[in-house]
Amino acid sequence: MPVNLKIQTDASVTEKDILSIIQSFEDEGEMIGEGTRNVIKILPFRGKLYNIKSFKIPNIVNKIAYRFFRKSKAQRSYEFANKLIDLGIGTPRPIAYYQQTTLFAFRKSYYISEQLDYDLTYRELITNFDYEDYDTILRAFTQFTYKLHEKGIHFLDHSPGNTLIKKVDDDYAFYLVDLNRMQFGPMDFETRIKNFSRLTKYKYMVEIMSDEYAKCSNRTYNEVFPLMWKDVKAFREKFERKKRIKKRFGL
Sequence-ordered alpha helix ranges (H) in the chain: 15-23, 60-68, 73-86, 122-127, 134-150, 189-194, 203-217, 221-248
Residues of the chain with CATH 1.10.510: 120-247
Its pTM stands at 0.93
Q: Which long-range contacts (CB under 8 A, 24 or more apart) does 126-134 make?
A: 126/160, 126/200, 126/202, 126/205, 129/204, 133/172
3-state secondary structure 67-105: HHCCCCHHHHHHHHHHHHHHCCCCCCCEEEEEEEECCCC
Fold of 3-114: Phosphorylase Kinase; domain 1 (3.30.200)
Domain 120-247 matching CATH 3.40.1400: the answer reads no
For residue range 37-93, what is the model confidence (pLDDT) as tens digits? Answer: 899 999 999 899 999 999 998 898 989 998 999 999 999 999 999 999 999 999 999
Residue 232 confidence class, pLDDT cut points 50, 70, 90? very high
Residues of the chain with CATH 3.30.200: 3-114
Ramachandran angles phi, psi of 52, nearest 5°: -115, 125
* Residue 251 vs residue 150, higher pLDDT: 150
Average pLDDT of the chain, as a whole number? 93
For residue range 86-120, what is the model confidence (pLDDT) as tens digits? Answer: 999 999 999 999 999 888 889 999 999 999 999 99
* Residue 47 vs residue 209, higher pLDDT: 209
Residue 251 confidence class, pLDDT cut points 50, 70, 90? low
> What interhelical angle do 203-217 and 221-248 show, nearest 10?
140
